[in-house]
């Protein structure tokens, strides 16, 4: 049985996957050709097609890895006990995603944020992927809703606002900052942490006077 060792197979597979991920992060799924991936991986077509049935499967593999990474970042941050305030929580998720370069030490810090945007774009044209993403966000939201309810029960936050809305807002903040990071790169995570902290310091504008910066 002259087959090659299993770790060698796994290594080849990961080599291809990471090369594809770099290409996709650079040019998107549909603007990168198979030959781009082959060149980036330093392999031939025959080699790659032994590990992946086609381009779609390659895309799916990268997408799944990205989603798994992001989902786990949200969940790990949510597992922190006691639950940190929102700005710290959001900072933790972002740092986790940014730090998660390739499995090995890798160059590009914004690889996952970039891939995340590509995944979003792909989600718009693939209902099945949209369902997966929806499910993932649902899971995360459930976790974060509990944390928000914790804030409210402890009297740290107004309790007359649905926790779901707050959780969605916090997730949106993570998404938006990650997008900024992917697009412009030069944004420290501390900026959101501080920015949200400042917003949190504004105190509820009561229920009636939303528009007056001063009251008379």
Residue 154 touches a second copy, criterion: CB under 8 A: yes
Between the alpha carbon of residue 200 and those of residues 190, 194, 207, the distances in Å are 15, 10, 16
Single out the residue of 14, 26, 28, 34 in contact with DNA (rule: CB under 7 A).
Answer: 34
Single out the residue of 14, 26, 49, 175 in contact with DNA (rule: CB under 7 A).
Answer: 49
Burial of 49: CB neighbours in 10 Å, binned 0-12, 13-18, 19+: middle
> Count residues contacting DNA (CB under 7 A)?
25
Q: How far is the CB of 26 from DNA (least distance, A)?
A: 14
Single out the residue of 22, 67, 83, 98 in contact with a second copy (rule: CB under 8 A).
Answer: 83
Single out the residue of 44, 72, 139, 190 in contact with a second copy (rule: CB under 8 A).
Answer: 190
Question: Which residue's CB is nearer to DNA, number 5 or number 211?
Answer: 5
Single out the residue of 21, 25, 37, 97 in contact with a second copy (rule: CB under 8 A).
Answer: 25
Question: Which residue's CB is nearer to a second copy, number 44 or number 139?
Answer: 139
Contacting DNA within 54-93 (CB under 7 A): 54-56
* Alpha carbon distance, N-terminus to C-terminus of the chain: 88
Q: How far is the CB of 30 from DNA (least distance, A)?
A: 7
On the question of a cis peptide bond just before residue 82, with omega within 30 degrees of 0, the verdict is yes
Residue 121 touches DNA, criterion: CB under 7 A: no
Residue 39 touches a second copy, criterion: CB under 8 A: no
Binding site for DNA (CB under 7 A): 1-5, 8-9, 12, 32-35, 42-47, 49-51, 53-56
């Amino acid at each position: 049985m002259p087959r090659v060792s299993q770790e060698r197979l796994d290594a080849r597979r990961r080599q291809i996957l990471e090369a594809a991920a770099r290409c996709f992060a650079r040019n998107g799924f549909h603007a990168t050709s198979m030959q781009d991936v082959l060149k980036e991986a330093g392999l031939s077509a025959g080699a790659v097609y032994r590990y992946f049935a086609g381009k779609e499967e390659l895309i799916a593999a990268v997408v799944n890895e990205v989603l798994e990474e992001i989902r786990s970042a949200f969940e790990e941050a949510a597992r922190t006990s006691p639950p940190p305030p929102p700005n710290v929580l959001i900072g933790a998720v972002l740092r986790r995603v940014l730090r998660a370069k390739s499995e090995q030490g890798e160059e590009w810090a914004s690889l996952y944020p970039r891939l995340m945007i590509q995944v979003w774009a792909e989600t718009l044209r693939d209902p099945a992927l949209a369902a997966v993403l929806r499910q993932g966000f649902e899971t995360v939201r459930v976790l974060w809703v509990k944390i928000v309810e914790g804030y409210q029960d402890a009297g740290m936050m107004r309790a007359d606002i649905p926790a779901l809305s707050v959780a969605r807002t916090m997730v949106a903040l993570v998404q938006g900052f990650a997008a900024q990071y992917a697009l412009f790169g030069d944004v420290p995570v501390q900026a959101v942490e501080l920015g949200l902290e400042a917003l949190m310091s504004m105190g509820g504008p009561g229920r009636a006077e939303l528009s007056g910066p001063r009251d008379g």
